[in-house]
Chain A
């Protein structure tokens, strides 16, 4: 009887460990492949030049249009998400602090929002665009992506804010602060590192998402000079180049993918870094 137990225990220890290590292996493999394929075609001009006329047939140029477009869209969308999301998160943690049930309901709905597929936002954005008489443009792209990333900003920031001890708020209120002042002066300060993490997460999502900008941002070889010009995005740029029948163009898709991966890696790692810094240098 005992032998069977020991055997079973050993097997599962091995199995579960193998599962764990294989996940690390999978990640390593993905990054390895992307970088290996991508770095061979990655040149400086890829990053610094716009595609020339013949770019999609193997001609000169780079993906600066997409890099710029993506940065603009992600940046603009993050800004909107902040304007809407930060006050919302602060509200949940300050004004609603006494209404536990409402708090929980709101968080429950927000969590469910986080799961909505980006293509739904894309379709909605497209509908909105037509209704407002806009054409595929930077602005339409920014608005659509902001729908996508606002729940992310709210919930991540909210997670951090909820760990701030209530005592701090109570102290502020008894000193004469209003609820809103408590929210902005105290919660925001205390949770600032968490805010940075939320911004990074949202930005990372915004820059990598394709389905939401597919219909709404359009595509162009130029860098948009104002809001109603179409904008190229890195994910779409990769996608279009990859579908090309010409091998050189496909190679360049890998390079663009490497660029995107690097951007996302930097964002993920710095988000985690800031999250850690929050838990260290903070009032406990």
Chain B
């Protein structure tokens, strides 16, 4: 049984943060520290992300949840000012310290950003991109996969007649679903989502959330959000962060209805 404790002896952290979690971890984070100059963004994070469950990273802005998410697939490489140390195990591979094939390890995870970023190509090519990167050449296979993924996110019937038009022509809600389909096309095991509905209208948000509920049957999902009701709706596992540390985590029922720490209590009061 894995029980997780927050590290520092801040007020309530030690005892309060013990909740039982599932056995199987999709991601194992050990001693993750991220600095930007002197600013300690992530402070000794130790976390297990359970398989096939939705884990929600919650917390006030600036607490480091997005940085944590981006460390999981080593996107922190893009930001030269970040100093990252620690281990992030995806299965047996430590993505942070692996010498070979980080791109391939990244393909085990799919990313959905806050704003949709369609590639500057057609709808079809957006989804085919990841597939081709894996080395697939068979045109029929690629086309089949594209159709399948578009159907999975409920976009197929809306775009099937204009697969080769530019992805820019889609509405924001459609673009976000496109990005989801694109991420799924590389057949990841894990989906990382950074506030995936905050830029969308309520209708599109609802669609994305529905997708997530279905997707968790087959994928492990990690969502960063600041919408408490969304956390309530989707989470199987809640992780509350504050100033770079994990303060509380566990069952959403337990954590959100019975917060133990002062920080979480304050956060919930403001949020609800």
Contacts and interface: CB of A to CB of B under 8 A. Distances in A.
Interface of A: 1-2
3 contacts: A1-B135, A2-B101, A2-B104
Nearest to B134: A1
A67 to B, nearest CB: 45
Contacts of B135: 1
Interface string B121-149: 00000000000000100000000000000
A220 to B, nearest CB: 55
Nearest to B101: A2
Contacts of A2: 101, 104
A71 to B, nearest CB: 43
A1 B104 CA distance: 12
Interface of B: 101, 104, 135
A2 B101 CA distance: 9
List the 3 shortest-distance A-B pairs measured between CB atoms, nearest first.
A1-B135, A2-B101, A2-B104
Contacts of A1: 135
Nearest to A1: B135
A2 B135 CA distance: 9
A237 to B, nearest CB: 47
Nearest to B135: A1
A1 B135 CA distance: 7
B108 to A, nearest CB: 16
Contacts of B104: 2
Nearest to B137: A1
A77 B135 CA distance: 62
B105 to A, nearest CB: 13
A278 B65 CA distance: 34
Contacts of B101: 2
A1 B132 CA distance: 11
A9 B38 CA distance: 33
Nearest to A9: B103
B101 to A, nearest CB: 7
A2 B104 CA distance: 10
Nearest to A2: B101
A189 to B, nearest CB: 31
B132 to A, nearest CB: 11
A282 to B, nearest CB: 20
Nearest to B103: A5
B12 to A, nearest CB: 37
A1 B101 CA distance: 12
A2 B134 CA distance: 9
B209 to A, nearest CB: 36
A2 B100 CA distance: 11
B142 to A, nearest CB: 15
A1 B137 CA distance: 11
A120 to B, nearest CB: 38
A197 to B, nearest CB: 26
A173 B43 CA distance: 46
A196 B101 CA distance: 50
A1 B134 CA distance: 9
Nearest to B133: A5
A3 to B, nearest CB: 11
B133 to A, nearest CB: 9
